[in-house]
Structure 1
Amino acid sequence: MRKRVRVIPYGRNLLLEVARRLVREHYSPRDPLSLARVTVLFPHRRPAVYLRFYLSQQIGAPFLPPRIYAIDDLIRELAASIEDPPRKALGPADQAWLLFQAIRERRNFEGICTSFDRFFPWGIRLAGLFEEFYKELIIPPPLPYPEGVPEEAEPLLEDLASIFQAYEGELEARSLTTPGRRFRTVASGIDEAPLGDGPFYIVGFYALTAAEERIFRHLWEEGAEVFWHAPEGDLPPLYKRWKEKWGLELEREEGEGSSPHISYIEAYDLHSELLQAKKLLKEREDRPDRTALVLPDPSALIPTLHELPEGQKVNITLGYPLSRTALFALLEGLMRLSSGRDPERGYWVRDYLAIMRHPFIKRLRTRSGKEGRIVLHLLEERIREEGRPFFSLQQLMELLLREEDRGRNEAFLASEGIGFEEAIRFVEEIHERVISPWGKVETPRELASCVKEVVRFVTAPFLSQGSGGLPPLENEFLYSLEAEVIPALEGTLFRDEMMGQELLFNLLRRIVSVTRTPFEGHPLVGLQVMGLLETRLLSFERAVIIDVNEGVLPSHDEVDPLLPPQLRPAVGLPPKEREEEIVWYHFEMLVRSSREVYLIWQSSIASGEGLEEKNVRSRFVERLLWEEERKAGRLLEEKVERVPLEIPSSCLLSREGLEKERERVRRFIVAKSSRDGLSPSLLNTYLQCPLKFYYRYILGLRPKEEVVEDVDATALGEVVHKALEEDFRPFLGRVFRPEAEEPERLIELFRSRFRMTKGYQALWGERRLFVEEVAAFRLRQFLENSPKETFIEGLERSYSMEFPIGGMPLQFSGKVDRVDRREGLRIILDYKTGSVDEFTQRAFIEKIFPFSPPPDLDYEGLREVRRTIKDIQLPLYVLLVTGGVPREIGRTTAAYVILQDKGQENYFLPPKGLREVKERWVEWFEGGFLSILEYILCHILDAPLFFRATEERFCRFCEYEPSCHFAW
């Protein structure tokens, strides 16, 4: 009976040492079964591939390899031999269902068990907890009065023992088991398990569950060899515990005496990390144990593959989450589309368009082989033109079939070689085969069928003969879906149970969330791209590890609401801190077993809100650095290579705007002047942002028309303007007294006009009522705060006049909402439903009146004009309405009517101030204002650039901001 454990130091290749041992102790060229009698047990499957590789190198001839098991595979085989008959192992969803069946009739669980839908998330967590109990050989105790858990979870913990007993009863009655329960079965029956008579090797295990410990203790006492991989000095904590508990004697192999060379590299972001990794991977790798590129976060796999040297042979060995794939993104989008469907209004258009824009849908072809994306583009344009937020599938088809648009649709499709009927059938087929089935599923089996049919429909064009097929990665993802997810739904215990749509969709999400696409990496070639857990027991000459950041290594797991960390010891489970110790052991083993190690982390990541937040290196990096600093007796921060953010000079904007084609601008201004006249809004646009002026007026760019989902402020303002004009029209040329008029007439005019808009159609129920009532309230306030008596001189009247600017006669024009006469003054009013800059008499006297435009047509000069005058519209209205006649200017002022603020009138110069500074007012219009107007026009015509916005706030809600390189 052996009492020793062999310890291989980190500096030596554990699997190579095991291979040498097997060849030395058991291989005989004359006996082809010499190695086949040996059994080798590993924590996972990847070491088996390397062990066979090293054996082939040692033997150099064909041979029958040992029986090599991963622990899960051995347990599955032994459990099947112990169970009579062998039992089916349930997945998490079935375990939750069985738990639901076990306790649903109990009175103390009535709240949480009102439906499987409500119980499901708790059932999944409870099933996971029981799996831990099985592996730790624990019969769970009750937890009376548990603290720090949600109210729904309290009865589950208080009756933990009885629930477990009932669950066990259900499993026994149905002759079922679970993966964790198999460990308990094997641990209990290990004495009778058929383990064979040959040599047995247990290699590379570190943290043992109670079941594993009992199984290994039996194997070891029966003669199995145990191999550890540990540093030459102190043992890691869990090895110490193992040694003391078993009373072990250690047989240590000598190390090679060399420590790895560790490079610490701080990069800026993932792309910067991959650039550094690419520099380290220039040479093509031929041996599978030479270089490993390790990805602790599997989400980095796709960008990593795009950065690898061209022609480099690669093994990918990690489990990529199926939930991160484009294939599941389509399924998730379809579930969201179906869940968001309103029974009366139909599908939410944003969800519908997200499906139509998905790559798998856009790449579908019509029956004659034409590109379907052309048809989908046409459909999207019609949806945007219609402007409604919800459509039924029938209404969507009617957009294409509508008589008034049919000729236009047919002409567009014909230009692309697509027949109209063919296009209609293409859209109908997507509706029938991809969208409609989701609304009909009622059982897991039907959901499986739905997923299967949808996936086969959207991937069929790529799998047909001569299509070239799906890209290799997409093929793997498709295989995972068809081999794991769909069978899990079809084979579940409750596959024919009627369920709500949301529960079914959450069930699919749950199954996908735990599904990993297993890139196996066969046969062994060149560069190894691996997850951290896949590197366990492996040794490489070079290890390049990226994303060595806190939160990634170790990862931050969410707190379990069913059993928070502080309650784990109360039920006999190991503390959560042990998991970090296990991850550190495997990380340190990889580092210490390599000759060269490159640890690369990000210094900053996008926060998702347009800002950058500081990211920090992993505590594991700090631990390695601290060990080196302790030996050196000083800080070694200079060992960290900090990679600067490199931006090509061509990407840096050395100027403040875009080059101006002056002749083109001049032609536009002349044409605009002669055709429509230059409007105050055009000039205000330039004052606020010359680039916006360029995009809108010179280029004629219009923002993409979006589907209306709420009331557009501009559209609502137009409705209010029209209602006010119509309400005041009977009083044109007459005195208007608000108290003599009923506000309901104005409100009814607003409502009737509002109900004809797309914005009204976009709203639903309470939101419509809310908008109408708020608008009615504002209009009442406006009338209540209007002057008691005013003479209405003009409504929606257009004015124009010509000024010579820079020796060039230019026409200016504007439409004024209303012109009143009050107490001998003419008042020009412009309604505003939003906010505007505030004007004061003091500002006019102290800033505007003495202001002279700057001499230079530059950015700062324009900003100075904007800061001073704030707005060109009101004074230009005064000039237009008065025709520039000094006498009329002296008794005319202008104001914005702020409808959102009780109809307050915000004057450029209030009437009282006008009377006090009448001469200055007239003088300013004859000189100062004209010089400002001339400066703005000269700036438009002759400034070298279209400069960026004069204030940051103008970019905030600008429709051009997403594509403007000069936005603040």
Structure 2
Amino acid sequence: MHTTFLEHVLKDLADKQLDVTNCTFVLPSKRSGTFLKKYIAQSLETSIFSPKVLSIQDFIAQISGVSQASNLELLLQLFEAYKKSALKQHDDFASFLKWGQTLLQDFNDIDGYLIPAKEILNYLSAIKELNHWSLQKDKTELIENYLDLWSNLEGIYHSLTTELLDHKTGYQGLVQRKAVEEIKKGSQVHNGETIVFVGFNALNAAESTIIQHYLERGNAHIYWDIDTYFLNDPIHDAGLFIRNYQRNWPYYKNRKIEGQEHFLQPKRISITGAPKNVAQSKYAGQLLQHIQNDSTVDLKQTALVLADETLLNPVLKSIPTSIGEVNITMGLPLNKTVLYAFFQSYLELQLNKSDRGWFHKHVVAFLSNPYAAALLRSNQSNFAAELIEQINSHNWLFVNESMLSRLKDHQKAIQLVFPDDLTTPTDWIHQCQTIIQQLKETYQQEKNAQELEYLYRFYTLFNQLSQFLENVAFVSELKSIKTLFKQLASMETLDFIGEPLSGLQIMGMLESRNLDFETVIITSVNEGILPSGKSNNSFIPFDVKRAYGLPTYKEKDAIYVYHFYRLIQRAKNVYIVYNTEPDVLEGGEKSRLVTQLLTDENLKPFVTHQIVSPEVRIEQPPLTQIPKNGQLLEDIKNFALNGFSPTSLTNYIKNPMDFYTRNILKINDLEEVEENIAANTFGTIVHDSLETLYTPFISQVLTKEALSKTKTQISDVVKHQFLKQLPGIDIGKGKFLLVYNVIVKYLQNFLDKELLDIQRNQIKILALETKYETILDLPDLSFPIKLKGTLDRVDEVDGVLRIIDYKTGKVEPKNVKISDWDELITNYDKAKAFQLLCYAYLYAKNHDFDSGVAGIYSFKNLSQGLFRFTEDKNGIIDHQTLAKFEQQLHTLVKEICNVQIPLTEKVD
């Protein structure tokens, strides 16, 4: 491998006969300092004390005498300064958090680039005054408040910085500005030392001023990690900053920045497009396996660089198990963990508590989290499962204290999940700490080190939150802690602890600074990710930034371009992977950096480009077949003895697997709370309401007076049926009120239709919701077969028997018309005709029967009247019709019970 950049620095210092033990090394990051110490140790023949190796932040903090405050502390201090400002109206803390971080970043840039705060902030205020969107002479209150904030920014800035510096803390830009002031006062910090600045690229004005100060003092050295290929190209972004230093720093008036020449050395650059993030991760795993199998490539000299750090989880799952040592140099953001989702779910549960109790969805979401299961399980019972079962079975839309009191054996768990007095953020934090202690005991017993590490990280986060809340009065509502917790969890990480100098290195782009590897894999090289594009998280407009020398997206892009090219300039094997099917929110097409490599004539011999995709084999899966032997045969015999219903038979016609799962195994849809009423519940309420309304008329002729009186009872009857079917709901408001009104309207329309009918015909009710059964005569089968069913209504219209079925779904005439009898047991579209014939057959077997009609009243198209079963335009069912039906029925039942015919899946 070529000499690494850090080795080059040490070699040059040795050539200058400088003793490294007397040098103070200043680098962009602590990580590159660790590698520098490694290279120093490798070059030694005797033991020495390690030289000072500092990150630029630590170096500047020592000069300034000011330490960097945590982000949470800064946000709280900024809010204090904002509340003290002379604004007429202030946002609450939750609203402030939505824009406070952006304002803090702008203050950081203003200080880091040494811009007079008064000048730029007053300029911004004037711009906002000119640009405000109102054309009216008199400004609205909204516009007044908006402009009021901008005119008070300078005061907020001075209040914040004064308070921070009084406590000798600050944000990074403020620390840098303070360091520049100390230098100008003649600071003696680091004054007798030889200082070596190593591997910098994008410096803000403060960093640039500090470094130049030490360079011009004469006993400092600076090393730039730049290839001459980029340095000498006037438009290549990789050299943008360093070319500016060469041009503008007085130090380089009579000196020249020396670049290295590695980029055009022979290397292999493989560019690969893969669809979606998972495919990228899997492909990276395949590359690592290939590298490990290649004896000429050293895995210890390999880095996997994630431009999009959210790929960490899928990448870790894709690393071959044969790779023993892996060092991860990036943290997993806490908001990407399941434990974060657990606490978020717990907060949502408390936030959404109302006078009616806890909303069922939030209760179930919390109880379904795996940490809830670990928290609430005991040897005796499972509180989570028991409560979810109660919610579903009783249709509890809200869970309140009286409902929870029914679970007498779980008072400890109830107090933990549903505390009586959880009202303030501090209460919630203390409750979360209690939950963490309970979980800790569980995972200690299981010796689950990974979960304990997660718990410890959240325990420190809640401690941090608790300490800050003790000192502030403005975070008083739970909704405020929601935003703060979310923001803090996105900034804090669960750090991986490993051996930084051994094994495969997995890192983000910034962690790769100053480090060189023989083999580099870079993922997610897409526009919007690498470089990150025109995202502008700032209140300062683009033209103002340009005027004051603040960085814009162009400078941000140039930083990423530099890191990208610096990574590959000394590498022998470069694998660049991009997403061919990007989500527009994650990034765009393949990066311009890929296009630059593909179009660079000097790199043509080294670059290959390919698109990969997972191998997709489309194989027609074999139809599922279940032979009728053993237990299944016994189950079918028992089912036949208990009785086939028309619905079970049409399930078989639709798909024998449906018959198997629903009727034999009795696997129905999961029971769950009905927020929107289910179709079957809707139908049950309609059927039961009609039965209640018409029961007084059994064996009677319908009269106008009686029906008119019955019509007035509809509302009360439907209300009663609602409470019977869905005891946990309130039909006085919301969706259930709408459904209630729909059902009442359906029944009113039905009775109105009945009132019209009895003016022309005499209708006599014979039976309602009557159960019938009969034994089928099938000598081919050695066990008895029963057919059973419930007839919704049987009546006589002018002496003609009618068998009626109610349907709340839509029905079409073709569903009840038969022309080919074989279709009856093969085509599911004829299921309604089959059911009507079953009901007629059952009635005929239990009564004297000559002829009649069978039909369906569909409440969705009631105006079309009764949909009568018809056979080739004949709507009368007689013994001949039933004989034809019986033949088809016997054929179907014999097929179901035939041992030789397996239950075979039917495909559409």
What is the TM-score normalised by the length of structure 1? 0.79
Q: Which residue number in structure 1 is paired with residue 363 of structure 2?
A: 352
Q: Residues 88, 664 of structure 1: CA spacing in aligned structure 2 closer, same or farther, 3 A cutoff?
A: closer
Do the aligned residues in 2 keep the contact of 1:37 with 1:199 (CA within 8 Å)? yes
Do the aligned residues in 2 keep the contact of 1:92 with 1:127 (CA within 8 Å)? no
1:881 to 838, 843, 855: 843
The answer to whether 1:783 aligns with 2:756 is no
Do the aligned residues in 2 keep the contact of 1:349 with 1:390 (CA within 8 Å)? yes
SS at match of 2:729: helix
The answer to whether 1:516 aligns with 2:493 is yes
Q: Which residue number in structure 1 is paired with residue 246 of structure 2?
A: 243
Q: Distance in 2 between matches of 1:946 and 1:548?
A: 52
SS at match of 1:399: coil
Deviation string 1:563-596 (CA, Å, 9 cap, x unpaired) is 6768755776332233233222212221233211
After superposition, residues 128-207 of structure 1 pair within 5 angstroms as 128-138=105-115, 139=117, 140=120, 141=123, 142=125, 143-145=127-129, 160=150, 162-172=152-162, 175-176=166-167, 177-191=170-184, 192-193=186-187, 194-207=189-202
Q: Residues 933, 588 of structure 1: CA spacing in aligned structure 2 closer, same or farther, 3 A cutoff?
A: farther
The answer to whether 1:468 aligns with 2:447 is yes
The answer to whether 1:640 aligns with 2:623 is no
The answer to whether 1:91 aligns with 2:91 is no
Q: Residues 766, 486 of structure 1: CA spacing in aligned structure 2 closer, same or farther, 3 A cutoff?
A: same
Do the aligned residues in 2 keep the contact of 1:477 with 1:517 (CA within 8 Å)? yes
After superposition, residues 905-944 of structure 1 pair within 5 angstroms as 905=865, 907-909=867-869, 917=874, 925-927=882-884, 930-931=887-888, 934-935=891-892, 938=895, 941=898
- The alpha carbon displacement at 1:325 in A equals 1.8
1:505 to 455, 464, 482: 482
Do the aligned residues in 2 keep the contact of 1:266 with 1:600 (CA within 8 Å)? yes
The answer to whether 1:454 aligns with 2:435 is yes
What one-letter code is carried by the residue in structure 2 that aligns with 1:581? A
Q: Distance in 2 between matches of 1:592 and 1:456?
A: 50
- The alpha carbon displacement at 1:74 in A equals 1.9
Q: Which residue number in structure 2 is paired with residue 305 of structure 1?
A: 316
- The alpha carbon displacement at 1:207 in A equals 1.8
- The alpha carbon displacement at 1:312 in A equals 0.9
Q: Residues 678, 255 of structure 1: CA spacing in aligned structure 2 closer, same or farther, 3 A cutoff?
A: closer
Deviation string 1:675-708 (CA, Å, 9 cap, x unpaired) is 2x21111012222232221112222324443244
Q: Distance in 1 between matches of 2:461 and 2:692?
A: 67
Q: Distance in 1 between matches of 2:840 and 2:226?
A: 88
What one-letter code is carried by the residue in structure 2 that aligns with 1:91? N
Q: Residues 391, 903 of structure 1: CA spacing in aligned structure 2 closer, same or farther, 3 A cutoff?
A: farther
SS at match of 2:802: strand
Do the aligned residues in 1 keep the contact of 2:25 with 2:54 (CA within 8 Å)? yes
Q: Which residue number in structure 2 is paired with residue 45 of structure 1?
A: 30
What one-letter code is carried by the residue in structure 2 that aligns with 1:17? H
Q: Which residue number in structure 1 is paired with residue 227 of structure 2?
A: 231
Do the aligned residues in 2 keep the contact of 1:839 with 1:907 (CA within 8 Å)? yes
Q: Which residue number in structure 2 is paired with residue 956 of structure 1?
A: none
Do the aligned residues in 2 keep the contact of 1:11 with 1:256 (CA within 8 Å)? no
Give me the identity figure in percent: 22
Q: Distance in 1 between matches of 2:572 and 2:132?
A: 47
What one-letter code is carried by the residue in structure 1 that aligns with 2:859? L
Do the aligned residues in 2 keep the contact of 1:818 with 1:830 (CA within 8 Å)? yes
Do the aligned residues in 2 keep the contact of 1:337 with 1:348 (CA within 8 Å)? yes
2:60 to 64, 75, 99: 75
Do the aligned residues in 2 keep the contact of 1:97 with 1:123 (CA within 8 Å)? no
- The alpha carbon displacement at 1:436 in A equals 2.7
What one-letter code is carried by the residue in structure 2 that aligns with 1:595? K
SS at match of 1:282: helix
Q: Residues 52, 550 of structure 1: CA spacing in aligned structure 2 closer, same or farther, 3 A cutoff?
A: same
Do the aligned residues in 1 keep the contact of 2:226 with 2:260 (CA within 8 Å)? no
Q: Residues 313, 933 of structure 1: CA spacing in aligned structure 2 closer, same or farther, 3 A cutoff?
A: same
Q: Residues 450, 697 of structure 1: CA spacing in aligned structure 2 closer, same or farther, 3 A cutoff?
A: closer
- The alpha carbon displacement at 1:826 in A equals 2.9
SS at match of 1:761: coil
Do the aligned residues in 1 keep the contact of 2:300 with 2:502 (CA within 8 Å)? no
Aligned residues: 864
Q: Residues 769, 763 of structure 1: CA spacing in aligned structure 2 closer, same or farther, 3 A cutoff?
A: closer
What one-letter code is carried by the residue in structure 1 that aligns with 2:350? S
Q: Which residue number in structure 1 is paired with residue 741 of structure 2?
A: 773
- The alpha carbon displacement at 1:321 in A equals 0.3
Q: Distance in 1 between matches of 2:765 and 2:827?
A: 33
Q: Which residue number in structure 2 is paired with residue 260 of structure 1?
A: 267
Q: Which residue number in structure 1 is paired with residue 397 of structure 2?
A: 389
Do the aligned residues in 1 keep the contact of 2:769 with 2:790 (CA within 8 Å)? yes
- The alpha carbon displacement at 1:45 in A equals 1.6
Q: Residues 614, 208 of structure 1: CA spacing in aligned structure 2 closer, same or farther, 3 A cutoff?
A: closer
Do the aligned residues in 1 keep the contact of 2:440 with 2:452 (CA within 8 Å)? no
After superposition, residues 324-723 of structure 1 pair within 5 angstroms as 324-342=336-354, 344-364=355-375, 371=379, 374=382, 376-392=384-400, 395-396=403-404, 398-401=405-408, 424=409, 427-433=410-416, 436=419, 439-443=422-426, 448-463=429-444, 468-471=447-450, 474-483=451-460, 486-491=463-468, 494-497=471-474, 499-519=476-496, 521-549=498-526, 552-555=529-532, 560=537, 562=539, 569=546, 573-603=550-580, 618-620=590-592, 622-627=594-599, 632=604, 639-640=609-610, 642-645=612-615, 654-661=621-628, 666-675=633-642, 677-723=643-689
Do the aligned residues in 2 keep the contact of 1:23 with 1:58 (CA within 8 Å)? no
Answer with 567-576 or 176-185: which moved more. Answer: 567-576
Q: Distance in 1 between matches of 2:229 and 2:421?
A: 60
SS at match of 1:711: coil
Answer with 193-202 or 614-623: which moved more. Answer: 614-623
Deviation string 1:519-567 (CA, Å, 9 cap, x unpaired) is 3544522121212221122111112234445554445786648567687
Q: Distance in 1 between matches of 2:614 and 2:99?
A: 47
Q: Which residue number in structure 1 is paired with residue 47 of structure 2?
A: 62
- The alpha carbon displacement at 1:514 in A equals 1.1
Do the aligned residues in 1 keep the contact of 2:699 with 2:767 (CA within 8 Å)? yes
The answer to whether 1:831 aligns with 2:826 is no
Q: Distance in 1 between matches of 2:23 and 2:104?
A: 36
SS at match of 2:26: strand
- The alpha carbon displacement at 1:815 in A equals 0.7
Do the aligned residues in 2 keep the contact of 1:688 with 1:950 (CA within 8 Å)? no
Q: Distance in 2 between matches of 1:641 and 1:926?
A: 66
SS at match of 2:224: strand
Q: Distance in 2 between matches of 1:823 and 1:365?
A: 66
2:690 to 724, 736, 740: 724
What one-letter code is carried by the residue in structure 1 that aligns with 2:828? R
Alignment gaps of 5+ in structure 1: 1-9, 28-33, 81-85, 402-423, 608-612, 855-861, 952-968
- The alpha carbon displacement at 1:449 in A equals 4.2
Do the aligned residues in 2 keep the contact of 1:549 with 1:601 (CA within 8 Å)? yes
SS at match of 1:252: coil
Q: Which residue number in structure 1 is paired with residue 234 of structure 2?
A: none
**RMSD of the TM alignment (CA)?**
4.1
Q: Residues 166, 631 of structure 1: CA spacing in aligned structure 2 closer, same or farther, 3 A cutoff?
A: closer
Alignment gaps of 5+ in structure 2: 135-140, 232-237
Do the aligned residues in 2 keep the contact of 1:727 with 1:746 (CA within 8 Å)? yes
- The alpha carbon displacement at 1:811 in A equals 2.9
SS at match of 2:501: coil
- The alpha carbon displacement at 1:48 in A equals 0.5
Q: Which residue number in structure 2 is paired with residue 610 of structure 1?
A: none
Q: Which residue number in structure 2 is paired with residue 748 of structure 1?
A: 716
Q: Distance in 2 between matches of 1:692 and 1:148?
A: 65
Q: Distance in 1 between matches of 2:745 and 2:875?
A: 37
What one-letter code is carried by the residue in structure 2 that aligns with 1:907? F
Q: Residues 550, 941 of structure 1: CA spacing in aligned structure 2 closer, same or farther, 3 A cutoff?
A: farther
- The alpha carbon displacement at 1:196 in A equals 2.6
Answer with 190-199 or 937-946: which moved more. Answer: 937-946
SS at match of 1:736: coil
Do the aligned residues in 2 keep the contact of 1:827 with 1:894 (CA within 8 Å)? yes
SS at match of 1:189: helix
